[in-house]
């Protein structure tokens, strides 16, 4: 998968967000950007998300980690770094085998909607209303399904773009998509 913002392919060794050497494991594009209210225009993203699995940190110590990042921070290895990587792989076959054996799960995605409660005592009532409204979320709700449910519920009066004292958080497992929209499968409400 290539995108005008992406200069790497799956399998390439790169430097990414966390210092060290990583391998590109997935490139996601052609998805709808998150929106936080129905008045915002629904738009397809013009960006990509690059997922990498880190082998070593900047000191060449084992440092396995999976993360997502913007294509802007992903840089293919230079010639000297590629040579160092090949030397490392030859000298550390056991670590490389461990790295290759890891079953990769893409990082989870979170989306938060700001809430403004008039009274802190409303928190248990708001939490209960959110859990009731999203009782079937483990089956998966898209970004738009969440916004439509909130719009037609008593929670709508608490959603705010300004001053906040709580947040309703939605969690998606592994950047799952349905028809180009991110899917969320967990919900919680937290005070700020």
Diameter over CA atoms, the chain? 62
The label of the residue with tokens 């938060």 reads 112
Q: Are 131 and 91 part of one and the same domain?
A: no
Q: Please check whether residue 169 lies inside any domain of the structure.
A: yes
Is 70 within 8 Å of 50 (Cβ atoms)? yes
Q: How confident is the model at residue 164 (pLDDT cuts 50, 70, 90)?
A: confident
CA 145 to chain centre: 19
Q: Are 115 and 54 part of one and the same domain?
A: no
d(CA 63, CA 55) in angstroms, rounded, equals 6
Q: pLDDT tens digits, residue range 51-71?
A: 999 999 999 999 999 999 999
Q: Are 64 and 25 part of one and the same domain?
A: yes
Structural domain boundaries, residue 78: 13-101
Number of independent structural domains in the chain: 2
Quote the percentage of the chain above a pLDDT of 70: 96
Q: Are 84 and 116 part of one and the same domain?
A: no
Mean pLDDT for the stretch of residues 29-34: 93
Q: Are 84 and 119 part of one and the same domain?
A: no
Q: Please check whether residue 2 lies inside any domain of the structure.
A: no
Q: pLDDT tens digits, residue range 98-131?
A: 999 998 889 999 999 999 998 888 899 999 999 9
Eight-state DSSP code of residue 138: G
Q: Are 81 and 21 part of one and the same domain?
A: yes
Which residues have a Cβ under 8 Å from the Cβ of 113 and sit 6 or more positions away?
36, 150, 159, 167, 168, 170
Residue 5: predicted pLDDT: 61
CA 25 to chain centre: 14
Q: Please check whether residue 5 lies inside any domain of the structure.
A: no
The SS3 assignment for 149 reads helix
Helix (H) or strand (E) holding 67: strand 62-69
Q: Please check whether residue 50 lies inside any domain of the structure.
A: yes
Q: Are 18 and 66 part of one and the same domain?
A: yes
Q: Are 17 and 94 part of one and the same domain?
A: yes
Q: Are 57 and 114 part of one and the same domain?
A: no
Length of the chain: 192
d(CA 119, CA 116) in angstroms, rounded, equals 9
Starting at the edge strand found earlier in the chain, the sheet holding 21-28 runs 62-69, 49-56, 21-28, 13-15, 75-76
Picking from 75, 101, 127, the residue at the C-terminal end of a domain is 101
Picking from 61, 79, 101, the residue at the C-terminal end of a domain is 101
Q: Please check whether residue 1 lies inside any domain of the structure.
A: no
Q: How confident is the model at residue 170 (pLDDT cuts 50, 70, 90)?
A: very high
Quote the percentage of the chain above a pLDDT of 90: 83
Q: Is the pLDDT of residue 2 over 50?
A: no
Q: Are 19 and 56 part of one and the same domain?
A: yes
To the nearest whole number, what is the mean pLDDT of the chain? 92
The SS3 assignment for 156 reads helix
Q: Are 74 and 50 part of one and the same domain?
A: yes
């Amino acid at each position: 998968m290539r995108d005008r913002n992406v200069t790497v392919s799956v399998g390439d060794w790169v430097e990414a967000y966390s210092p060290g050497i990583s391998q590109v494991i997935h490139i996601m594009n052609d998805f709808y950007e998150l929106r936080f209210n129905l008045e915002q225009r629904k738009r397809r993203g013009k960006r990509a998300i690059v997922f990498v699995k880190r082998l070593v940190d900047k000191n060449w110590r084992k440092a396995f980690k999976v993360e997502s990042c913007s294509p802007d921070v992903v840089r293919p290895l230079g010639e000297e770094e590629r040579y160092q990587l090949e030397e490392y792989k030859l000298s550390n076959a056991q670590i490389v085998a461990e790295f290759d054996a890891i079953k990769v799960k893409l990082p989870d995605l979170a989306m938060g909607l700001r809430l403004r409660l008039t009274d802190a005592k409303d928190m248990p009532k708001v939490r209960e209303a959110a859990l009731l409204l999203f009782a079937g979320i483990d089956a998966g709700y898209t970004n738009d399904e969440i916004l439509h449910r909130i719009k037609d519920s008593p929670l709508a009066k608490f959603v705010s773009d300004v001053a906040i004292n709580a947040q309703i958080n939605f969690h998606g497992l592994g950047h799952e998509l349905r028809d180009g929209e991110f899917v969320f499968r967990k919900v919680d409400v937290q005070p700020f």
